Structure 1
Amino acid sequence: MMSFLSPQYSSTRYSQCLKVALGGLVLGTALTSSAVVLAQEGGYPEEPVEFIVPWSPGGGSDTLMRIVSNHAEPYLGQPMPVINMPGVSGTTGLKELTQREPDGYTVGQIHEGLLVAHHTQLTQLNWDDFKPVAAMVASAQYWTVNADSPWQSFDEFVSYAKDHPGEVRVGVTLGGIPHVHAAMIEDAENLSFRYVGFEGTGERIRSLVGGHIDAAIGDIASSGEFVKNDDLRFLAVGSDERQDETPDVPTFKELGYDSLSLNIVRGLVAPRETPDDRVEVLADAMQELSRDEDFTQAVQNAGAQVHYEDPEAFSDYLKTTNETVERLSGKLAK
């Protein structure tokens, strides 16, 4: 067989092959971000895309969405500056989003809290008042108890709760996502909890550490260090698979609860009339970002996991979750 560098191989042919190889390399590099290619072809985006985060600086949503913002530009082709608009349980900023031009130059962040706010009459807005762009991150939620409690497993906890209806003190944000998750557990086993309301996750977890409540919804960011220090114990996690940080903690699905998916999924939405082609550019950029190793590490360092879903999949998730929240809305008034 003739060697590529043999004397018989003409310099002309070598030059041609070299051009092809280099051209392929350039093409491969250009295609690393399909969103940028689409943006250049369509002229969108030609200016920064504002990102409304409807929560205060420093919270979980703000922290994680700033990670998205800080890593998005290479894939979108434009900056995505965060604009904090807190108020009324995350609904003030989303109301502002509905009033922005549907031109693809403003997006906002939502999670399941909007669905809860809607079904507790806090706002008329719901997920379908927007056009879903992409889910980006998920924070797995854990059923958490004090390490001094007698419950070494979730089954032991359930057995006790069944024998003592209305006695187990569960800390939640009343009318919030943790309340929904606790109500889902109540519903799955026909239990009855005594709810204790707290303003935020930190206050709730500190109360659990102090023994003032019996159980609560926690996550790695809020509770992981307390578990490491043997102050708290995780009994089960609401993700589809066991988490790398807690390999010994079973999932609810492993325990036979197929419907117990306890996650906080944060994603992007746009005004409802935003053109589909611009939503596609945004979604493609987010998909490329979700594969970025630095982005993935930053999200994990913040106690969450990358969880990309395209517009259709994210819409399906929001629709299904909305149905669950609506079904359990009666329990949220407890």
Structure 2
Amino acid sequence: MTIFKKTNAVLGAAILAGVCAAGAAFAEGYPDRPIELIVTFGPGGGADVMGRQMAKLVEAPLGVPIPVSNVAGASGNAGLTQLRTNAADGYTMGTLISLTVASWASGLGDNKPEDFRVIAVVQSSPSFLFVPSNGPHKTAQDLMAYAKEHPGEITVATSGYGTQDDVTLKLLEKAGIKMENVPFQAPAERYASPIGGHTQAIYEEPGDVAQFIQAGQLTPLVVFSSERHPEFPDVPTSKELGIDISGLDNFRSIAVAAGTADDIVAKLETAVTGAVASDEWKAFCQKTYSCITPVTGAAAQSMISDFRDLIAAQLGS
């Protein structure tokens, strides 16, 4: 069961709490100047595209500009450290995504769930292994058999050490399938690496590489989920292949620093959930295979902590 699905039982209560919070008196005059949105990965990646789309959609309801800045590094921790150490006054938001939460369980950085207040989790998608369509490996069974016979020879483009990309490769290695992690800080370079022959595969969500799938340059071989993806029904799950790596979906959220006042959080939550309900966002998330019902309040906070604990348990197993 994915962390997102686990939250369904408490989502109703969280929505009710959010509605109550939205009725509270907002901080007087907030906002009266631009609100910076820190994207914690480089330009062109999934977090960047989501952050910029969200910034555009919440400018009108908040009534101020939302400039976006990319602060990449340390699997997203560099940007989150800046978010955490800025004043908790609602004038800095950031992208907090599962790749970075996974890195905390892997011992990277000194950030932790209680350092942040999640405004809303707005996207989620399982990850796949993709290979270049003109490459030698046509099925997941072929790729994994080759990796077993040639440990470490298959190189996989990832978003960084400590992320669930890295965790998944470690879990595959425990099953005797050793592939080499090749991290890329720049998303565009990561996406291009298998197509250019610099790596043999890439661990990614389908929405982030949709243009390469549609162009016939990348082929999905396996989805790390307990269920097949409805948009890719012919792609087997890792569970079907005898390696149950599931629950590691890549979710993305908007967050602020812990200590931000409840009324400010309520106003930001109203703006973000309103953006997610818009036709423009619905078209965007459908294009990126990432549509979900937004998770807010206590359920969103639990999602972050539960995912960190899940990764820690996976690494300890």
TM-score of the two chains, using structure 2 as the length reference: 0.74
Match of 2:23 in 1: 38
Match of 2:173 in 1: 186
1:310 aligns to 2:310 (yes or no): no
Where in structure 2 are the equivalents of 1:234-253 lying within 5 Å?
234-238=220-224, 242-244=229-231, 246-252=232-238
Cα deviation digits, residues 278-329 of structure 1 (max 9, x gap): 434433443332222211113444x352332113232222223223444566
Q: Is the 2:46–2:208 contact (alpha carbons within 8 Å) kept by the matching residues of 1? A: no
Tell me how far apart the structure 1 counterparts of residues 296 and 100 of structure 2 sit (CA, whole Å).
19
Tell me how far apart the structure 2 counterparts of residues 253 and 292 of structure 1 sit (CA, whole Å).
35
1:101 aligns to 2:118 (yes or no): no
Cα deviation digits, residues 2-39 of structure 1 (max 9, x gap): xxxxxxxxxxxxxxxxxxxxxxxxxxxxxxx9699736
Query: 1:86 Cα deviation (Å)?
Result: 1.4
Closer/same/farther in 2, CA of residues 254 and 285 from structure 1, 3 Å limit: farther
Match of 1:82 in 2: 67
1:157 aligns to 2:149 (yes or no): no
Closer/same/farther in 2, CA of residues 204 and 128 from structure 1, 3 Å limit: same
Question: Which of 303, 307, 314 is the aligned partner of 1:321?
Answer: 307
**Would you say how many aligned residue pairs link Structure 1 and Structure 2?**
295
Q: Is the 1:51–1:80 contact (alpha carbons within 8 Å) kept by the matching residues of 2? A: no
Where in structure 2 are the equivalents of 1:12-161 lying within 5 Å?
38=23, 45-47=30-32, 49-73=35-59, 76-79=61-64, 81-89=66-74, 90-118=76-104, 122-161=108-147
Cα deviation digits, residues 98-121 of structure 1 (max 9, x gap): 233334443222113433554565
SS of the equivalent of 1:91 reads helix
Tell me how far apart the structure 2 counterparts of residues 71 and 35 of structure 1 sit (CA, whole Å).
23
Q: Is the 2:126–2:205 contact (alpha carbons within 8 Å) kept by the matching residues of 1? A: yes
Match of 2:193 in 1: 207
Closer/same/farther in 2, CA of residues 211 and 284 from structure 1, 3 Å limit: same
Closer/same/farther in 2, CA of residues 277 and 255 from structure 1, 3 Å limit: farther
Match of 2:252 in 1: 266
SS of the equivalent of 1:274 reads coil
Closer/same/farther in 2, CA of residues 283 and 93 from structure 1, 3 Å limit: same
Closer/same/farther in 2, CA of residues 184 and 44 from structure 1, 3 Å limit: farther
Query: 1:126 Cα deviation (Å)?
Result: 2.4
SS of the equivalent of 1:134 reads strand
The residue identity in structure 2 corresponding to 1:115 is: V
TM-score of the two chains, using structure 1 as the length reference: 0.71
Closer/same/farther in 2, CA of residues 44 and 53 from structure 1, 3 Å limit: farther
Structure 1: give runs of 5+ residues left out of the alignment: 1-32
Closer/same/farther in 2, CA of residues 211 and 134 from structure 1, 3 Å limit: same
Tell me how far apart the structure 1 counterparts of residues 78 and 180 of structure 2 sit (CA, whole Å).
31
Closer/same/farther in 2, CA of residues 158 and 54 from structure 1, 3 Å limit: closer
Question: Which of 272, 275, 286 is the aligned partner of 1:289?
Answer: 275
Q: Percent identity?
A: 25
Query: 1:148 Cα deviation (Å)?
Result: 4.0
Query: 1:258 Cα deviation (Å)?
Result: 5.3
Structure 2: give runs of 5+ residues left out of the alignment: 1-17
Match of 2:181 in 1: 195
